[in-house]
Amino acid sequence: MNKPHSSVAPDEIFERLKQNLMSYMHDPDIALVTAAYRFSATYHADQKRASGEPYIVHPLEVANILTLIKVDMASIIAAILHDTVEDTDATLATIKQEFGDDVATLVDSLTKISKIKFRSNQERLAENFRKMVVAMAKDLRVILIKLADRLHNMRTIEALEERKRHRIANETLDIYSPLATRLGIYGIKSELEDLCFRQLKYDLYSEIAQKIALKKTERQGFIDEVGDVLDQELRRYGFTAKVSGRPKHFYSIYKKMVDRGLKFEDIHDLFAFRIIVNSIKDCYEALGVVHAMWKPMPGRFKDYIAMPKANLYQSLHTTVIRPSGKPVEVQIRTREMHEQSEYGVAAHALYKDNVGKASSEKDKSDIRSFDWLRQIMQWQSELKDPEEFLEAVRVDLFEEEIFVFTPHGDVIRLPLGGTAIDFAFSVHSDVGLRCVGAKVNGRLTSFKKAIKSGDIVEIVTSPNQKPNKDWLNYVQTSKARNKIRSFLRGEKRERSLSMGNEIFRNELQSRGIDVEKFLKSKEIASLLKIAKENSLNELLIAFGYGKINAKRLLDRFLSDTPTGEVAVFPVSKSKQTRILVSGLDDVLVNFARCCNPLPGEEIIGFVTRGRGVTVHRAACSRVFEMDVLRRINVAWKDDNSTTKSHPCYIRVSSYDKKGVLAEITNVISAAGANITEANIRSQDLTAVHDFCIAIANMQQLQEIIKKIEMIEAVIKIERRSLVSAKSRRGAKR
């Protein structure tokens, strides 16, 4: 663990900074860095950190951390100045004058971000997070400086009071360590996580630290032994390789214990071995040597060289089982890959100007890794709800990913646990919206099942398919989640619109107002004004959602309107409530579309929210799903006197004989009923006839059923919920 350099004088820290700069910059402008140091030291002169040391120590150490990532000179200068505008009298204009536009812009962004405070209020937190991510996404250097700033603050956090320490540690785990992971800066990520872990779960942290320290000699012996064997064997094959072993960082051990429900003692891979070789070819050859020595554990080999992670991480990973039976993880990579994994790709091409325009092939691959940044920018314009944005960014900042293939061999990256639905949406939104199933490695599989790295996935689509709410339980990617949500939102709007339309019409009719005339009249405008809605559609949707109560609105509207004018809309005759609702007068009644009750049939009513009473057949299977408390007694007003017909769905199965269909339809029309829909299929020797018949009452239906049963070729007749697949889906909701 890094200790705060509390007793070190600022000049010494500055000396170290100069050394560090010279270690990776060709010809660093030392005069400029010195000027920045003087400037910052002067402005921060009377300030002290919570620890009591001079404030200037902090910006200098931040700059030192940044030298590990090999950032450019402007970032170093900006790091030294990063708190001056925020905390001292220094102005942006002065900085611009002394250090130029580039530095000033960086300092300005950093100042703005530091003003964003994360408080417990979830909504504000989300909105602030959005602001911060967007500010950082504009220039990657801002993220890097912010990360270094946070790392130094975490290293020196002990001086703060407990509540503040916890808040900062939580925020760091939520935002900064995922960002470090995304940028592939594992050196900073691991240190941040361990520092946070120590603050948030001190007991567990010390337990793990102690246990690792306790067996230190034993473990060092183990590290030496395995390391030596690997080293000797590689040498025997002529490799110049550097072998090292180290314990994994504490937070990753803790996470493994929590995620897999393991005790510390049950975790075998507390150590990882690393083999660093000279070339990519050597990586694969060294892997061969390791696998020849010890048996590889199936399913644990990962080739991040052929398929780098989104953050450009490259390495071969394998877990082998030693003769003792204990598994050991081995990572094999080149020196360049190693440096990149510790301090990220920052050293290469990720400065402002390079994001978005690629000059060489190498740059292209670097820039591809910042697709997620571009994605973030896109989301922030698409996702208006800050919480959805926060969720999207958080989900996609997490590191674990798998690689799967399209049938054409294209690689698709998915988060661990991703399903074929995620895959489908990654290929194309339209594929996602229409997916009905997936072939994984040629076999038809549930599209809700998690897919594995290396699987070849082919999506089966159907033009009739639509996403449903359940899908949200089976997706991992933000892209899929957002697309499904926006689809469902649109659909809900549509449903609310038609529901609202129905409510409104019923309400008007029950007051004896002619609907069509009313809708075309100028009255609508004044109604909208009262409702504070912009259009009739919006008003109807508001009725459908239950946001506005149509009855109350009309009451108010009509009481505002001079009595004479209501007469403009004559009573319409179409309103005929055929249902008596116990204890209620003048109530809106709907017939449930799942069972379509017929007059004379035993029925049950349910009080709904904003839609009056829905009437089901007493025998309808949905009745058992309904809330008993909302049940209400209903009865048919007059069984046989009305002429209005109800849709009724029946299915007749028969032997596939000539003339059967004609016989059935004859029976139906002879009974005085109309067929409104028919669907006939034959299969082997039987035929299935689905009909929707307009039926006046139960008696008529019973008569028809009896007559159809008497037809010789008929095997069975049943009453059904709905006639075809199309209408079945329509009524499910």
59 or 500: CB nearest Mn ion:
59
Structure tokens at 4: 């705060």
61 or 533: CB nearest Mn ion:
61
Q: Residue 57 CB, nearest distance to Mn ion (Å)?
A: 11
47 or 462: CB nearest Mn ion:
47
Annotated catalytic residue within 12, 27, 83, 86: 86
147 or 337: CB nearest Mn ion:
147
Q: Residue 153 CB, nearest distance to Mn ion (Å)?
A: 6
49 or 268: CB nearest Mn ion:
49
Alpha-carbon dihedral 90, 96, 101, 105, rounded to 10 degrees: 20
Q: Which residue is nearest to Mn ion (CB)?
A: 149
| Crossing angle of helices 57-68 and 73-81, rounded to 10° | 160
Strands 443-445 and 603-607, bridge-based pairing: unpaired
Partners of 239 in beta bridges: none
In the annotation, is 87 catalytic? yes
Place of tokens 């100069």: 18
37 or 447: CB nearest Mn ion:
37
Q: Residue 212 CB, nearest distance to Mn ion (Å)?
A: 32
* Nearest C-alpha neighbor of 44 from the set 74, 91, 89: 89
For the beta carbon of residue 552, count every other beta carbon within 10 angstroms.
10
Q: How far is CA 601 from CA 14, 433, 597, 633, in A?
A: 91, 40, 7, 14
Spatial separation of the C-alpha atoms in residues 330 and 302, rounded to whole Å: 11
| Contacting positions for Mn ion (CB under 5 A) | 83, 149
155 or 551: CB nearest Mn ion:
155
Q: How far is CA 152 from CA 65, 147, 156, 249, 396, in A?
A: 8, 9, 6, 18, 26
Contacts with 496 (C-beta within 8 Å, 6 or more apart), sequence order: 540, 541, 543, 544, 545
Reduce the DSSP state of residue 474 to 3 states and report it: helix
Q: Residue 373 CB, nearest distance to Mn ion (Å)?
A: 23
Which own/partner contact pairs does 200-205 have at CB distance under 8 Å and 24+ positions apart?
200/166, 200/169, 200/170, 200/173, 201/254, 204/254, 205/250, 205/254
Q: Residue 237 CB, nearest distance to Mn ion (Å)?
A: 50
Q: Residue 13 CB, nearest distance to Mn ion (Å)?
A: 15
Q: Residue 126 CB, nearest distance to Mn ion (Å)?
A: 24
For the beta carbon of residue 503, count every other beta carbon within 10 angstroms.
24
Annotated catalytic residue within 87, 174, 285, 401: 87
Measured in whole angstroms, the distance separating CA 270 from the mean position of its chain's CA atoms is 31
77 or 390: CB nearest Mn ion:
77
Structure tokens at 373: 């940044």
For the beta carbon of residue 52, count every other beta carbon within 10 angstroms.
8
DSSP string, 56-118: THHHHHHHHHHHHTT--HHHHHHHHHTTHHHHSS--HHHHHHHHHHHHHHHHHHHHHHHH---
Q: Residue 326 CB, nearest distance to Mn ion (Å)?
A: 44
Residue positions annotated with a catalytic role:
86-87
